[in-house]
Every structure is written in C-alpha cells, then in structure tokens.
Amino acid sequence: NTFMIEKKKTELYQELGLQARDLRFQHVMSIATRNNRIIMRMEFLKAVITPEFLLILDYRNLSLEHWLLSQLASQLAGEGQLVTYSLPFEFRAIEAILQYWISKLQGRLNTLQPQILETLEALVDPKLLSVDRSKLHILLQNGKSLSELETDLKVFKETILEILDEEELIEELCLSKWTDPQVFQESTSGIDHAEEMELLLENYYRQAEDLANEARELRVLIDDSESIIFINLDSHRNVMMRLNLQLTMGTFSVSLFGLIGVAFGMNLESSLEEDPRIFWLVTGIMFLGSGLIWRRLLSFLGRHLEPTLPPHVPAVLKKSQPAAGRVEIKNSLKAETFGLSRTLPNQ
C-alpha cells in the first residue's frame, strides 16, 4: 500500500521516536540506525525504514516519483536482485533503495560512455592539423561529469564499507530480529540475518566497484587520448617549424648571392656592363650559387635532425660453447681492440 502524508517536522520525528537532526535534509550519503529505525540518506533520496513501513521524505523529484509509482511496490514484494522475499521487510526496503541508487549511477555512466568515446574518436585523428574547440569543450564537460560520478561512486562504496567493517552496525540493521520474537527464534535456528544483511550490502558494494572500474577505464582512456592529441599537434608543429626553417635558409641563400646584383646595380663604370652576355652570366651564377648553398644547408639540417642509427651490437655468445672457447674468443677480441697482432695462448 502506497500513500502520501503531510506532517510538520516536529510531529514526524516525535511520532517516529527520532530527533530533529535525524530528519535534517543534508546532501550527504549515510546509513545509520536510531531507536530501531534505519535512516538512509542518498543525497536527494532520504528514507526512514522501520520493520513495518518505508517512509520516503519529500519525494518531489521526477525520476524518484516514477520509481515510487512503478518500481518500488514490486521490489518491496520481493522481486529484487537477491530475491529477499523470505527475509523481513527492512531487507527488501534497503535492497530497493540501494538498487535504485545503483541504477542511477549506472544510467549516468551509460550516458557518459558513448559521448566520451565519440568525442575521443573525433579528436584522435592523425590527419587533423588542428583540434576542434567545440569537441574539446564537450570533452571537458564530460570529464567533469565523469569526475562527479567517480566521487559519488567512491562515497557510496565508503558508506557501505563502513558498515561492512563493523559487525555491530550490521546487527543493528536487522530490525525485526530484535522486535519480533518469531524472527529472533528463526535466526537462532539457522537463518543468520546478520550474514544475509552482509551479503546484501556486499553485493551492491561489488556492483559499485565494477562501475568504478569502468569509470576509471574511461578516465585512463581520456588521459591517453590527450597524450596522443599532444603528440599529433607537436608532430605537425615540428613539420611547420622545419618548413619555416627551410624557407628561411632559402631566403638567406638568395639574399647572399643577391649582393652580386646589388653590386652591379650601383652607378659604377666598368667595361663589363657593355657586354650583353654578362647579364645572363651573373644571373646564372647567382641562381646556381644560391641553389648550391641551399642544398648545403638542407644537408646540414638533415644530418642534425634525422635520427641516427643505433650502434651495432655484436651477437651474444652462445651458452652452449665450452668455457675454454669463450675465454679464447674473449681474449682474441681484446687483442683486436688494442691492436695486438699476436695470438694469446689458450687458458
């Protein structure tokens, strides 16, 4: 049965036997017990669980309202992941809330993952000479959302892990074990409710750990893609710098032999300007000299920029050779190194 009530805060915590701070709306994540009541805070989802009912505080949230009307009733009826129908009501209520929160985190990850992969595929392209700023902006926004998701997963895991590390806290979550004599008798006859509660919490801790691993893989993929983008940009930048250097050397070569034309352009009287073949001769010398100097500079640039070949490493001697042979070969190598012509005796 699902129904809505409106009460003042003072009336509500007096009826539940709680204190005002227990119903305080804090945007945190915690699971605690007070006066045989379980208080669960999952950021905007705040609930109070008793052995008889589940109270959702201020559910004015669209996705939360949809969950309350369509999914919560079936989950409380025992259709959860662990099928806790045979266990008390608080088990089904805790499982319903944890399942809802895990599904929210899973939905956020499923929304981010294809967007991040699509953006990275568009950015990591060696043919691109520049990076699209709109894609970088989208990647930045997705990276922030991924960081928030990683933080929420970390807080969720820490909240559950604090309970799993304390056996007393797990016992306190089993409300019906202490209020219903029949349930207590069943627990003493073989059904360990504390162990069932531990398995329930551990199951959702493991799911959160799997989501955290997927988010971590996306983070590593983003970091690796950023490195690839920087390498591609550096490669294109080096190409442009090398082209600029080659053009600068060509300009220097032409300017150097252009001094000849400057010299002939001065108002100097000589017998050379009377010969019509001198113009073509000087022009040819200028172009030929400029080309030779430019080729010389390019070869100098290539020798200093091209990667050198690694030094030749002699083959490693086989271990199957006898010891005497190894010593003889080693001594022969030493003799050749120091320029000795005699053969050392075998030792």
Tokens of 335: 């003799």
Q: Which amino acid is at 1?
A: N
By C-alpha distance, which of 79, 55, 81 is closest to 3?
55
By C-alpha distance, which of 20, 61, 68, 65 is closest to 44?
61
How far from the centroid of its chain's Cα atoms is residue 345's Cα? 64
CB 43 within 8 A of CB 29: yes
| Secondary structure of residue 172 in the 3-state scheme | helix
Q: How confident is the model at residue 294 (pLDDT cuts 50, 70, 90)?
A: confident
**Residues 130, 139: Cα–Cα separation, whole Å:** 16
Encode pLDDT of 87-110 as tens digits: 788 888 898 899 989 999 999 999
68-237 folds as Methane Monooxygenase Hydroxylase; Chain G, domain 1 (1.20.58)
What is the CB neighbour count within 10 angstroms for residue 152? 21
More confident residue, 236 or 131: 236
**To 5 degrees, how large is the angle CA 147–CA 150–CA 154?**
140
Instruction: Tell me, yes or no, if the pTM score tops 0.75.
Output: no
Q: What are phi and psi of 129, to 5 degrees?
A: -85, -15
CB 46 within 8 A of CB 57: yes
pLDDT at 61: 64
**Residues 199, 91: Cα–Cα separation, whole Å:** 11
Judged by average pLDDT, the poorest of 177-186, 199-208, 334-343 is 334-343
Q: For the residues 79-86, what does the mean pLDDT come to?
A: 57
CB 282 within 8 A of CB 264: yes
pLDDT at 335: 41
Beta strands in 241-290 (DSSP E): none
Encode pLDDT of 199-258 as tens digits: 889 999 999 999 999 999 999 988 888 777 777 777 778 878 887 877 787 777 777 777
| Secondary structure of residue 78 in the 3-state scheme | coil
Q: What are phi and psi of 318, to 5 degrees?
A: -70, 145
Q: Domain extents for the chain?
A: 68-237, 238-266+274-301
What is the CB neighbour count within 10 angstroms for residue 93? 25
By C-alpha distance, which of 340, 339, 317 is closest to 329?
317
Q: How confident is the model at residue 151 (pLDDT cuts 50, 70, 90)?
A: very high
What CA–CA distances, in Å, run from 98 to 149, 160, 214, 228, 326? 16, 10, 19, 39, 70
More confident residue, 149 or 74: 149
**Residues 42, 30: Cα–Cα separation, whole Å:** 7
